[in-house]
Structure 1
């Protein structure tokens, strides 16, 4: 199968590209190389047979149409997105442009290509989204595919809008699609502005380890390589026009994640004082959702997929990777906004 992957130089996108190449697929990686992209994420497959990189913006309609006509993909996996909630609070316009207008432009190009090719039944547009479109949960319950949308941040609102666009293009124009909503990802190659790499790198630098509020916000943590495997499973086996929620089955409070990482660093890179001494509570961000949790029954029962990496295993693998790949993250720390507190408002 030849797969066009948008955002393939990002954290999740690069994991998908690496997994797809390992599985024997051809991949056309389309990425604009904005601030969070990193071609070093693709070094393991950069010279692989069947891998092609195209630097392009999904908002550029003529270019996207030309790429479809040039490469003639069998499927699209759309991961290109602005994804950092704090950045969306400070600058929502980029999120509206990329996540909404970019998805619209890509859908139009895909539809034109699909129609011109005679509407092949095997074509699939796979839109990758987030559980944040569902809003927040209390102490009980889980998000299912039938949970009403209730986004609370500019980021999640833009992703909710893009989900609706994909469904509308399927219903109105017949474009074959599948849609997935995932829980919080973590693992190797994650850009150093998200919680887990921030904790690791601040700890190593001897800086305060910031925890929003009391750290009681709960997330379902999904190891990125498990997510890539799930996405390719849905692409190939999922039912047309169906949504699948993907979770890690690993709920934990933010403060517990931070404490676990500090404990791993105490073991793997010990120093005189415990790393937990650096934990610092900071003012919470506006609209911070209390809890996310995924009900994985549909993907488990219909497609036979479950995560393979536990939270303990995944955090250890992640900490070990960052300790072994200092050159990778040092280069990214110079980029705009990295290491700064974003999304404070007022």
Structure 2
């Protein structure tokens, strides 16, 4: 049974329905951390704030304040939204470069990953943002593709993405609330699928990859970035290095303790995959695919950091070949994340 958000009777629900974001989730879909009903309730409040805020950044500030209140068990309703909006802490700051640069940067990076595999990135056509969150990649995708379809399981995130699209004037973006395990998209209709730091939040990871393969057109590409379970670097959700080497009992105690009250993530909400697991996940649909950490030709990164910056400089030094061998082959299993570039081949003609 598909959820009909327009049936909700409260005033915030009317604001949510007016935004026109279709909701294809089913109560049988797997969820992590919270129920669909809880997500809808928070999405209603963010939608209520939509026209009461002037900019994307202001709306994000209101959402974060609501999230903190909810996690603290405090009242969250229309009156609280009005109070938060009126607060001088949430100013109508316009979009900043960090809100729009990521999509452009990831496509430039994808071009290098594809080149390492002997392929080219064909801009234009239709791109699927498979796990859109707040929409930080949408500006770059909108500028480089004819159509952008942005999917996310959290309706509240898509309300925020809607505000970004409105402020940036992105008219070729369709926002859809759905499960990446069950995409409401026609087969062979997508030219490029981008999935960045999403797979660790998905229950049925094999279904996610199978669905990406189904919707891809021939010679289409899945760009899949997966945080590494056995990374020697700091885990992105819980902040500890060597996360996968810590005994599971201790990981769960840490993730489900005080850290969950801060991040909103618990042990059940994040299941990272290792290099070997990633290879096995993509193989049934795409076969053996190139998996790397950082492509050889990368000159700079949007995300700053001394370690990543040092690696990029080393890749572009006379020792670039040795650095590439270390990070993309010998030590790939303990790098912070892995990028799988999966190409859907052209169908063989029938004999």
- Does the pair score TM above 0.5? no
RCO greater where, 1 or 2, for CA within 8 Å and sep 6 or more?
A: 1
More strand by share: 1
The TM-score normalised by the length of structure 2 is 0.30
Q: Which structure's CA Rg is the greater one?
A: 2
